Amino acid sequence: MQTLGQKVIYQIYPKSFYDSNNDGIGDLRGIIAKIPYIAKLNIDMIWFNPFFVSPQNDNGYDIADYYQIDPRFGTMADFEELVAKLKEINVGVMLDMVLNHCSTEHEWFKKALAGDKYYQDFFYLRPAKADGSLPNNWSSKFGGPAWEKFGDTNLYYLHLYDKTQADLDWHNENVRKEASKIINFWRSKGVAGFRFDVINVTGKDTVLVDSTDINEEKALYTDTPVVHDYLKELNRTSFGQDEDAITVGEMSSATIPNSIEYSNPAEHELSMVFTFHHLKVDYKDGEKWSDYPFDFMKLKQLFTDWQEKMDQGGGWNALFWNNHDQPWALNRFGDPVNFRVESAQMLASALHLMRGTPYIYQGEELGMMDPSYTDISEYVDVEALNAYQALIEAGKSPAEAFHLISLKARDNSRVPMHWNADKYAGFSTVTPWLKPTDQAEINVEKELASGQIFTYYQQLIKLRKEMPLISAGHFQTVFKDHPQVFAYRRYLDNQAKELLVINNFYGQETELDLGTYADKACRLVISNYDQDLTKLPAKLTLRPYETIAWEI
């Protein structure tokens, strides 16, 4: 049986993967049709973004029925067939559990609105303050206040996200029982993987006090001690009963000590954590909607801290550059214009050779990049459209506001998968829900015929399965003061050999003094340029976006 460190997980955003019935939206049968493609990568599990019944106000993260497949994606029979066919190629299924909040279209919320006290206790319902103002001053992560009027009562309900996503009160034992029941239902369908959306914001207090600033506000409901209690209970009553379960928590603003506890097997909580600190190094003063070059030294420090301390504490990282909530990493940390292939390969190596479980987001293995949109009307995501309006109101010109949206919008990575160079990228024969661009240059057909990125990912996945240094080794950063190079060593306590990984994060050549590694015999493991060294030099010249891993 493979260890957690040998596994690689592929993320599919169903709405954008492949449209089998030509309605402009990807679906489950579309995924079934592309299983031969998935098999080529040799990944171990697929994380599917939600395809449950939903009004789609937040692209499926507003769930109205946790037990039913939304008809726009297919049927339960389609899902069961998908699970069975993936099992034939030894690929497991990971479902997205959105349990911090539910849609206001969910029967729990509807019953609460109708006056059912039992279901009213599922939500954070609070009266206005004595002066008539909102229950507290918290902000929604999608803009505006985090409170909305609860029907025609004198109460308000809390929504940390969209107003159609009502936060569930996890202090209520009945809410936690429903969460277990949902997971157990999908376990009975053969699902062994679960990804828990924003799970560490479930730890809100019973008394929801005002905040003094945005950072302190986050701390009032994020990563609080009670989250560990909730996860231990959930583990015990559901997925923890499966020896082969793989679970990951999306942890907003999590600390390393908390993340160790979330993911250390001895704690019986989760298998691993998604954390996002490394994807905020191009936020100017913490502001997402900004045009700011990424802070490489900060990126390196964050990787170092999380890798080394999680290793020392027995925690486990989910490794990722891309997902459905992020613009493409290639645009942020690489050069899609001048060195698309080299920078895509370098970013892949830098991540996949670290300690943890790597995730590949659909299209990443093709070197997909942000779409070439020219107008705000081409975006559909609620967060981007709200942010555009807020930027205009803050004094930005339409052109300035659009530029900032184009850099950071979640829709950037949600564009349909490029299967070929056709008008709709081979995704559909009709206009897709979101417009593809650049498919003439970047698509599956072309990549499989003559590309160098897909095959590079295949190599990295194969190495992870074959080399214990990669799947189980410790991590230590080396040459940490170099302004262009992120390098680290992977080593095992009982093995003389180590893996030295060197990554040039820029499009300019640079020189690296190898210090104590000079004159050591080396065996090339993987590189994105020709390499024929058998002994390490004293000084190494790295080409643009060059990545090299040697066993020494």
Q: How far is CA 165 from CA 101, 119, 381, 483, in A?
A: 6, 15, 15, 43
Residue position matching structure tokens 């993320």: 11
| 419-435 pLDDT tens trace | 999 999 999 999 999 99
Paired residues of 299 in beta bridges: none
Residue among 92, 107, 93 at smallest CA distance from 53: 107
Question: Of 19, 250, 311, 546, which residue is the catalytic one?
Answer: 250
- On the question of pLDDT at 46 being above 70, the answer is yes
CA distance 285 to 232: 36
pLDDT at 1: 67
Query: Does the pLDDT value for residue 552 go beyond 70?
Result: yes
**Paired residues of 247 in beta bridges:** 194
Check residue 421 and give left, alpha or beta (phi > 0: left; psi -120 to 50: alpha): alpha
Confidence grade of residue 64 (pLDDT, cut at 50, 70, 90): very high
Q: What confidence score (pLDDT) does residue 214 get? A: 81
Q: What three-state secondary structure class fits 313?
A: helix
Torsion (CA) 360, 422, 385, 287 in degrees, nearest 10? 40
Model confidence over 200-249: pLDDT tens digits? 999 999 999 999 988 889 999 999 999 999 999 999 999 999 999 999 99
Region 275-281: what's the mean pLDDT? 96
Which contacts (CB < 8 Å, 24+ apart) does range 135-139 have? Answer: 135/208, 136/208, 136/209, 136/210, 136/211, 137/210, 137/211, 138/208, 138/211, 138/217, 138/220, 138/221, 139/214, 139/217
pLDDT exceeds 90 at position 327: yes
Q: Is 250 part of the annotated catalytic residue set? A: yes
Is 197 noted as a catalytic residue in this protein? yes
- Of the pLDDT bands very low, low, confident and very high (cuts 50, 70, 90), residue 473 is very high
d(CA 336, CA 232) in angstroms, rounded, equals 43
pLDDT at position 207: 95
pLDDT over 70 for what percent of the chain? 100
Averaged pLDDT score across all residues of the chain: 97
Phi-psi category of 115—alpha, beta or left, where left has phi over 0 and alpha has psi -120 to 50? left
Q: What is the mean pLDDT of residues 316-342?
A: 97
Q: Which of 62, 148, 197, 383 is catalytic?
A: 197
**Distance between terminal CA atoms of the chain?**
28
Amino acid identity at 22: N
Candidates 173, 195, 167, 172; CA nearest to 183 is 195
How far apart are the C-alpha atoms of 135 and 155, rounded to whole Å? Answer: 9
Sheet containing 125-127: which strands, arranged edge to edge?
Answer: 125-127, 155-158, 147-149
Query: What's the mean pLDDT in 289-293?
Result: 96
Helix axes of 256-263 and 296-313: crossing angle, nearest 10 degrees: 40
The reported pLDDT for the residue numbered 252 is: 87
- Tell me the one-letter amino acid at 182: I
Query: From start to end of 116-207, where are the E strands?
Result: 125-127, 147-149, 155-158, 165-167, 193-196
Q: Kind of pairing, strands 125-127 and 155-158? A: antiparallel
Torsion of CA 450, 454, 460, 464, to 10 degrees: -130
3-state secondary structure (DSSP) of residue 171: coil
